[in-house]
Structure 1
Amino acid sequence: MGYPQDLLASRSIIKRGNFALIPPEGLVKNVVPGFEQCDLTILASPRLGAKFVDYLVTMHEGGKNAQGFGEEGVETFVYCMEGQVSASADQETFLLEAGGYLYCPPGVKLYLENAQSKDTKLFLYKQKYAPLNDSSRKPWVVSGNVHDIVAVDYDNMTNVKIQDLLPIDHAFDMNFHILSFEPGGCHPFVETHYQEHGAIMLSGEGVYNLDNEWIPIKKGDYLYMGPYVPQATYAVGREPFAYLYSKDCNRDAAL
């Protein structure tokens, strides 16, 4: 980096347990055992108030995690933002290109290796799995690519589309979605709900209402939205505003 070229400033907003905006400027590298030839940043975590951990990973040539990511009782998910990655789980290997993803249920480790000489950029996630009382219903390994998933209208609005990346099945206690807004598109109302989200902006620009503060946001930014924080967005600019986000689901609130 070298010497700063201007006054030190940041667009970051951190309100633990409520919401956070983390732009790409200012991200620092974290050392996580098992990741080799990788630049890795921990985004959301329990220290921020989240029940999950999100990461941004840049795999350089030869980058990999050969010891496996995940552990007993923990589910994991990887999304390829740029490049190509060889992702393995449960003795099966998948070549993920941009838009490709792989979900691993608890107890199944995720193995990653850069499949090209250029850098590959990944979004990575882990969370403790909340099992059902019916022990026979368990999630399974899921892989796909968003380019093969039909985008459907969101709340009957033709200029807002949603894609579900995981099966709609109670065996899964969470899902990943991509929400895409044409310029001028918006949520139908300001949401206030029990679920929390971690979201990485994939394209475009928007202004996001977070706890009734309107905040500009754009491609490359990361958002954490805690339970019950009021939230909604308008898309602005010349291209669709789209983001990938996680959502806990299919479980009752614990006492």
Structure 2
Amino acid sequence: MPYPDGFLKNRSSYEPSKYAVITTEGRVNNVVPGITGCTLSILASPKLGANFVQLVGTVSTEGGTTMPYGRAENIETFLFVMDGEGTLDVTVDGQTETLAAGGYIYSPPGEGIGFASRGDAPVTILLYKQRFIPHPDPAMKQPWKVSGTIRDMQEGLYDGMDNVFIRDLLPVDQAFDMNFHTLAFLPGGCHPFVETHVQEHGMYIYQGQGLYLLDEVWLPVESGDFIWIAPFCKQACYGTGLERMEYIYSKDCHRDEAI
């Protein structure tokens, strides 16, 4: 790593039990057992305050898993290929398919996700895992493997606004206790109101820039930033800059709260 150009600086911000913005400047690489040939950084975990683990990083042309990531009882996993010219062979429960940029896969509890570069070019991925909360009705079916690509999905208007767009990556079905969405803002687009809700979010901005309200502070954010938002933390976003701002985010759903 070269000497810094000017003063050391870092836009990251952390308010315990409220929110965190983890920018690219301060990330370090983490060794994750069972994954080789990859440069990965753990962005969120229970140590942060999150109820999930999220990683981001690059899979080299020789990268992959030596055992399925997140394969443990009652753990569900998700992988998203954010960018890059390469492709990954991704395996869930013995079935393998190939994902390119924009592709994603959800693995139901207990299965985990295996992946290996096809050797064509590096790709940037998001990896995610959390503990599955079963539906209280024992007759409810279990969640199932889901895969696709955002490049083949039709965007919907978010709350009827013609400059904010959303995609649901997982089925809106009570068998699932979580979902992943993409949300995109054209310059000047914004949330219709300041949100305060029980859902927790982990979001990764992969295009554009904006201003994000977190608790009482408006913070500038841009492509490459990760944001964790705790339950009931006030939040809202404006898209700024010359191109659309877009991010992928997780959301817990379809479950009552424990008491």
CA distance, structure 2, for counterparts of residue 2 and residue 203 of structure 1: 27
SS at match of 1:37: strand
Structure 2 partner of 1:40 = 40
Residues of 2 paired with 1:114 and 1:66: CA distance? Answer: 12
Counterpart in 1 of 2:181?
177
CA drift at 1:188:
0.3
- The answer (yes or no) to whether the contact 2:64–2:115 under 8 Å persists in 1 is yes
Partner residue in 1 for 2:228: 224
Give the aligned partner of residue 211 of structure 1.
Answer: 215
Q: What amino acid does structure 1 have at the position aligned with 2:138?
A: S
Which residue, out of 76, 97, 100, partners 1:97? 100
After superposition, what is the alpha-carbon deviation per residue over 1:73-124, rounded to whole angstroms, capped at 9, x for unaligned? 1000000012321111011111111110000010112101112342111001
Residues 68 and 111, structure 1, Cα contact 8 Å, conserved in 2:
yes
Distance 1:119 1:25 in 2: 21
Tell me how far apart the structure 2 counterparts of residues 116 and 64 of structure 1 sit (CA, whole Å).
10
What's the CA shift for 1:212?
Answer: 1.9
Equivalent positions of 1:12-161 (< 5 A) are: 12-70=12-70, 71-83=72-84, 84-136=87-139, 137-161=141-165
Gaps of 5+ in 2: none
**What is the identity, as a one-letter code, of the residue corresponding to 1:189?**
F
Local SS of the residue matching 2:62: strand
Query: Which AA in structure 1 matches 2:2?
Result: G
- Separation of aligned partners in 1, 2:24 and 2:118: 24
Partner of 1:186: 190
Letter paired with 2:177? D
Deviation digits for residues 137-191 of structure 1 (CA, Å, limit 9, x no counterpart): 2100000001111111111101111000000100000000000111100000000
Q: 1:155 is paired with a residue of what secondary structure?
A: helix
Q: Is the 8 A contact 2:181 2:248 kept in 1?
A: yes
Determine if contact 2:101/2:123 at 8 Å carries over to the other structure: no
Give the AA of the match of 2:196. Answer: T
Alpha-carbon deviation of 1:4?
A: 2.0
Kept after mapping to 2: 8 A contact 1:62/1:117: no
Which residue, 231, 243, 256 being the options, matches 1:252?
256
How many Å separate the matches in 1 of 2:174 and 2:81? 26
**One-letter amino acid matched to 1:144:** G
CA distance in 2: counterparts of 1:225 and 1:116, whole angstroms: 36
AA at the equivalent of 1:202: Y
CA contact under 8 A between 1:66 and 1:113: conserved in structure 2? Answer: no
**One-letter code of the match for 1:135?**
P
Local SS of the residue matching 1:158 = coil
Does the 8 Å CA contact 1:60/1:117 hold for their aligned counterparts?
no
Sequence identity, in percent?
Answer: 47
User: Does structure 1 conserve the Cα–Cα contact (< 8 Å) formed by 2:43 and 2:54?
Assistant: yes
RMSD after superposition: 1.0
1:5 to partner: Cα distance: 2.2
Give 3-state SS (helix, strand or coil) of 1:68's partner. Answer: coil
Residues in 1 aligned to 2:5 and 2:247: alpha-carbon distance in whole angstroms: 31
Unaligned 5+ residue runs, structure 1? none
**Which of 134-143 and 203-212 deviates more?**
134-143
